[in-house]
Amino acid sequence: MSIYRDKRSPYYQFDFQIDGHRFHGSTKCTARKDAERFETLEHQKAAALVKATKRSRASLAIDDVAARLWNDTAQYDAEPKATETNLARLIEYFGPTKLLTDIDHKAAKELVAWRRGHRVSRRGKLTKDQRELLPLISNATVNRSASKVLQRLFKFAKAEGAIFENEPKWEDLFLPEPEERVRELKSEEGDALDEAMRDDYGPFFDFARASGMRLKECVTLRWTEVNFGTRQIVRTGKGGRRVVFPITPAVRDILFPLQGQHPEAVFTYVAIYGNRRLGRVRGLRYPLTYNGAKTAWQRLRSISGVGDFRFHDFRHDFGTKLLRESGNLKLVQKALNHRDIKSTLRYAHVLDEDVAAAVERLAESRKKSRSKVTKVS
């Protein structure tokens, strides 16, 4: 290790090699002792970097790792735009040249603290005062958009062969999240929704209730994925997994009459107003969009008076009722396309009634057995 003064600069310079890799630059220090301390830290960082890259043979700059991750798998995520946004946020926060070996637990905690200070986003122009009144993002959003994204970058680099001595302690980074509630749709609430439903949106919402599919999966359903002959809907679901959903008589009754309304999209709506900029003509049908479906749901929920019920709760309602009917967790897991049965276990509470009934039957049988023994004796 060596530091030296360059006549062309007021600062001490450092220049050293580790395993054939040269590291040099300015210490930005004018005092020798300060420069020596700076060089010691740089040497430690360089040693960690050399060790980490010895097997991976690839750049560990966060921008480079993110680019390789994107090309390898991330671009095929169920929500690639969200993944791209989250990766870009981390790159902007740390700087594109920041090395993963320089991101330790302290740096990761600072990222989490920074992200926790963000507020939910709203469409349209807002004043500074209006933005400050918006609620802070949830712990789940912080975990999903920051900690898990950073952890994914580390996992990817390690899969390439990188070794990290100061990897963040992930279990200490994730913020506590409330358990996701399971909300069933009451019969009177279903009636209220049907009463307030626009005719052209009816099949879409009926299908969501009958299939348990996610909002985006329903909106993007295409005729090429629907096969009435095999009675199956075959498509790519969350996480890029192949999903096969049976076309039951109820589902067929919803979908079959929609043929011919659009050559590609299964679900469409009728334009109530014309829009020259968007090329919309009043009275004609157009494919339903994600944002359009969300707006239609908010309007429907408001008119019907059904509160505390999200679109995603249609999925919970489907899973709960299916488990109550079948009593089979594995079947519900497959129907909802859950990779891990732990996700399906949130519906297990519906089996409490069956357990209580079984316990009661057992108690009754024991009473009868005791009664017979008493009579014999």
pLDDT tens across the length of the chain (377 residues):
588 888 888 899 999 888 777 888 899 899 999 999 999 988 888 887 777 766 556 889 999 999 999 988 898 786 788 999 999 999 999 999 999 999 999 999 999 999 999 998 876 677 777 777 788 999 999 999 999 999 999 999 999 989 898 999 999 999 998 777 788 899 999 999 999 999 999 999 999 999 999 998 999 999 999 999 999 999 876 666 788 899 999 999 999 999 999 999 999 999 999 888 888 899 999 999 998 999 999 999 999 999 889 999 999 999 999 988 888 889 989 888 888 888 888 888 777 666 666 677 777 777 666 665 555 55
Residue 318's Cβ-count burial label (10 Å; 0-12, 13-18, 19+) is: buried
Q: What is the pLDDT of residue 77?
A: 80
Please, where are the H alpha helices in 117-263?
A: 128-133, 139-142, 148-159, 170-173, 187-196, 202-211, 215-219, 249-255
| Residue in this structure with the two tokens 């062969």, named with its chain if needed | 161
Residues 6+ apart with CB under 8 A from 292: 269
d(CA 73, CA 78): 11
| Residue in this structure with the two tokens 């949830």, named with its chain if needed | 138
d(CA 214, CA 197): 19
| Residue in this structure with the two tokens 């509630």, named with its chain if needed | 181
Strand residues in the chain grouped as ranges (E) = 3-5, 12-18, 21-26, 226-227, 232-236, 242-246, 268-270, 285-287
Structure tokens at 36: 């020596």
Q: What is the pLDDT of residue 307?
A: 87
Q: What is the pLDDT of residue 375?
A: 55
d(CA 66, CA 277): 37
Please say whether the beta carbons of 78 and 239 come within 8 A: yes
Residues 6+ apart with CB under 8 A from 173: 105, 108, 109, 112, 147, 151
Structure tokens at 7: 């006549």
Domains and CATH numbers, the chain: 3-56 (no CATH), 62-173 (no CATH), 187-327+334-339 (1.10.443.10)
d(CA 248, CA 251): 5
Which DSSP category does 145 fall into?
I
* Three-class DSSP category at 249: helix
Q: What is the pLDDT of residue 279?
A: 86
- Find how far residue 322's CA is from the centre of its chain: 24
Please say whether the beta carbons of 196 and 300 come within 8 A: yes
Q: How crowded is the C-beta side of 33, counted as CA atoms within 13 Å?
A: 0
